[in-house]
Structure 1
Amino acid sequence: MTKLEYDQKVEKLILWAHAYYVQDNPIATDEEYDKLNREVLAYEQNNPQDAHPNSPTKRVGGFVLEGFQKANHLSRMWSQEDIFNTQELIDWINRAKKVNENLEYYCEPKFDGASMNLIYEHGVLKQAITRGDGSVGEDVTNNVKTMHSVPLQIKEQSLIEIRGEVVIRKSDFEKINAQRLKNGEQLFANPRNAASGSLRQLDPSITAQRKLFFNVWGIGQNSLEFKTNSQSMEYIYSLGFVKPPLQRVCHNVQEIEELYHQIIDSRDVIPMMLDGMVIKINDLETQDELGFTVKYPKWSCAYKFPAVEKSTRVKDIILQVGRTGVITPVAVVEPTHIDGSTVERATLHNFDEIARLDLRLNDEVIIIKSGDIIPKITKVFTDRRDGTQIEVQRPTSCPKCQSELLDEGTLIKCQNLDCEARVVNSIIYFASKNCMNIDGLGNKIVELLVNEKIIFDILDLYSLSYEKLKNLEGFKEKKINNLLNAIDNTKGSELHRIINALGIEHIGEVASKQICLEFGLDVVNVNYEQLVALDGIGEQMANSFCEFMRVNHELVNKLIEIIHPKVEEKVEVSENAFKGKTVVLTGTMSVSRGVIKKNLEVLGAKVSSSVSKKTDYVIYGEEAGSKYDKAVELGVQTLTEDEMNALLD
């Protein structure tokens, strides 16, 4: 077989694979496909240097992984603001019109699956990362390479993030569950869970069997020059990604509503599960001007489908203890089939919600699904009570460790860091990248160490030794030493990182830093009045912090004694050229942009990742690119690194 013949056969195999796996419409028999696949594979084995980067032979799955590595998105993956009716749609549009009166709206179905970010560089799929927390996800590249709806090679050569939803067809979902039933395995609750579970298989060959499907819905970091979302997406589809059905650019509320109801009417014939319609402002410059809230872009929203409701009976109320010790009541209901899945539990959020509903055990209730992962109870049929109903009492002690609970009204919490229900998650959180960043201390290792009773709480991490770890399965000398070194490297960390890593309810990284700058090592003894006097620290935050320190006072003191943290001094920012200014950095400079960013933030600047009319300065180095071009187009002041330093001087 010549190289030309091989390339022709690969193109035919790609066409056949696309028709079979993506379009679900085979244009060749299994025998023909297998025969051609063997011919292509044989050529590739004898001529590996000529192997086509997009060959379907590469999609059968590789080696089995021990676990998934964390990976950073190049730009943040945001959540969506939900709207549920026409008035909320009108309100959302009116907010956007404050920036631009003449708007177009890019609308498409919202598929119910697992969000995925694909990174391509030089035209080759470099990395596939799950959404995670929006900044950091899990690297599932090996699994995604088994999906025929994801091109392994595209014609776009620049660095680009392509985002979408990994879903599974309803028909394939039924086949998977039928096989799991036959094998005596637990059934997936719905296609979304099946897609997510299949994506996170440590053995890629299992993922390859599940016929996962990738629906593109957007792009992250890129250097494309299009002016509208619709133009950008048409280009993305031209790279080999499948265009979703019922996609349209609308011009007013009436057109949006017509498409919305058309999608609702088509739910049964579309092979994948939908839970709404996504609406985006089509003009990309307007998107930049609108910007983002803390949680979601102001230029995009999810118009959710109407709720599906059924009646059922409450059998029990169970208590779940979360990572931060929050007690969440969950209703156990009689199994009820709703919108393609069997529901046996419903969220109640908190005990105030139980009181508001006047919910009792054995009550008959209305349960709804409205695109939510967990259904919820909306109404109690009090007129159907027959005398068997039992009032639900607020708990006073933790169902796991029996320690006294802190009752804040809306929230009831177990504050005990040693509570068995939260100890594993508290250690995982403490060790995570955004907290103490203990490399090598992943979820499974923490679970193993706790289950083997080698550690019982966070403090025990610092008493780990080679002797305690050497007999554990999979722990070789290098692995043990790397873990012990990673733990030892946390010593001398900033105090605010330790406080943030404790997972105190309502207290995040920003609040931890503010409190530590103000009180230093005395954070363990700070009182309520001192905290609420700080700008931005509310009553609930202050109460939570104080109660946490009361319950865990000894543990935190010991932790500080062991780590001996660095205590940053509070520095008042004097007036300077960058105080209160919004700055964007681009291009290569004499020092890393991370260092410059930190220096500017110390001066009171806000360093942003995108250029808009609200940007005060764009500071650029060599190979500045599109951000510099946009600054010039918008009339934003640009500075070289030398000019920045001159302003600082």
Structure 2
Amino acid sequence: MEPFDYKTLIQQLKQMAYAYYVLDDPIATDEEYDTLYHQIKSFEEQNPHLIDPSSPTQRVGDVPLESFEKNSHLQRMWSLDDVFNPQELKEWMDRILRNYPQASFVCSPKFDGASLNLCYEHGTLISATTRGDGQIGELVTQNARTIHSIPLSIPMQEKIEIRGEVIISKKHFESLNAQRAQNGESLFANPRNAAAGSLRQLDSKIVAKRKLNFIPWGFGYNTSSHTSFFALVNEIFGYGFFKPPFIKHCKSIEEIQECYQEILKNRDSYPVMLDGMVIVVDEIPIQNSLGFTIKSPRFACAYKFPAIEKSSTIHSITLQVGRTGVITPVAELEPVEIEGAMISRATLHNFSEIAKKDIRIGDKVIIIRSGDVIPKIIKPLTALRDGSQTPITPPTHCPICENELLIEEKFIKCQNLSCPARIQESLAHFVSKKALNIDGLGEKIIQQLYQEGLVQNLEDIYSLQKEDLLKLEGWKEKKAQNALDGIQATKGVELWRFINALGIEHIGEGASKKLQNAFGLEIFVKNKEDFLTLDGFGEEMAESLSEFSAVNAERIKRLLTIIQPTCKTQSIDNSHWLYGKSVVLTGTMSQDRESIKAHLESLGAKVSSSVSKKTDYVIYGENAGSKLEKARELGVECLSEGEWERSK
């Protein structure tokens, strides 16, 4: 590959990345991007002296930092004064218009994230610094380079500081917290904390996985001849930065109020958290004349939205039993208004989180509406305790059916299939495609049968009569007969399907097949120690299965008598090159993925859902994304679906 070709391919890769990460409008498939990315990376490894610093391959540093260096801003980063209502806005504007009646304003959303100052020189990003105290912040350049909406180079050659907000979307925030909860890590209180915490990670490879975005809102030092703030920020957007979904030039307080109401009205539909609207004087000469107070500019302010963080008192705890049996503690609160809604209840997630935060009954607590929707308790105000507060004790028995609960490290669960809170979910799973696969009985039909009193437990499915079904709304002869035929077709089903249909916590399709092969019909009389002898079965799986079998022994016996599942030991080819190997499937396949998975398992492969250092092979179809990229980074052998078919 010649250097000229390298430069051309770099530009192609930049265009692909910009379309994907900034415009959210891809111009290439993930496979095309990955192929080009690795071609460029291979060339750079062989020709390190020719590496373009702005190459997308140079975004992530290899070595974690030990600490952050301090760095001074060329111009101070000021914080904005807040206004909270139309009267305060009018007073702020009057102070400006009194001396500068020709002044106009620029309005844009105020994103709730972490402020960052980017410095470019000769068109290249030379530093990225957090706000800090406004004069000196932490140098986080290595982390900023991982954010694809921060260009590594821009067309402006003069030195300039471009300032903006690092944010994380509501969707990615929830996903990040879900992953942290699964890993037993503390949760981020809100997207702002998640963005700030991510930006200050010492390992840039972790930052690269956090899906951060950077949205410019202004600038510091610059030598531009522009006299309009609106014109200059729009020029900056054209350098490859993400443009905010709303930015408008206004000439009156009425227009500003209209902008505020529009942003406030659409607040929930924005993919990121907003906490107000920024108003900036457009004329840069007027900005310079107005100057600064001791802590903030006189030419800009934040018109804040109504507060979404309030405090209240926990009066008691209610235990909710989810449809899968998980017990969720819910705090009953002193009612408090948040954004026009009276909030009297908030989730406490699980008892592990309660213990970690040391939340007690009687505590004064801070509440937010995560994603502007679900009320959540962030922390107790321990300094306000007076000794009357009492600890929240995890339950040992189900509050609905009073059966003993399965207690794990993070979750507490009712294992009783007869528990009214569990029944509908258990029924829906029992008839689903990956379980007994009963044609004619979907989730909505199961819900109807339950509400009509025809099906109250799993056994009732096998007692349904055609005349009972024909009395229901929407049921005709053919529909009723199809449902009954589907039910009868489950007689003699493979044992693994029956095991999977029971909906045992931690026991999915793969584990069910292992249990069938290991124990056959004796599975439900085996104990925890027996299950622990199986490859891949840990304490949680073994405990869950043992507890479930004990609690539901009579029901399982009745169902076995009715269904009479068959036990076909799966024949595995232990001579195949995939025997004992860990395989991950990703992307869109031309065949049914379940069929591919079943075939791989018949060859002795272990099909996993995530890529790790222990993965032996990745088989990918079209539009394969992050899993394929991670596999290649880890050096895992990757086969396209076509290559896999030819290698069978």
Give the alignment's TM-score, normalised by structure 1: 0.50
Whichever of the two has the greater Rg, that structure is 2
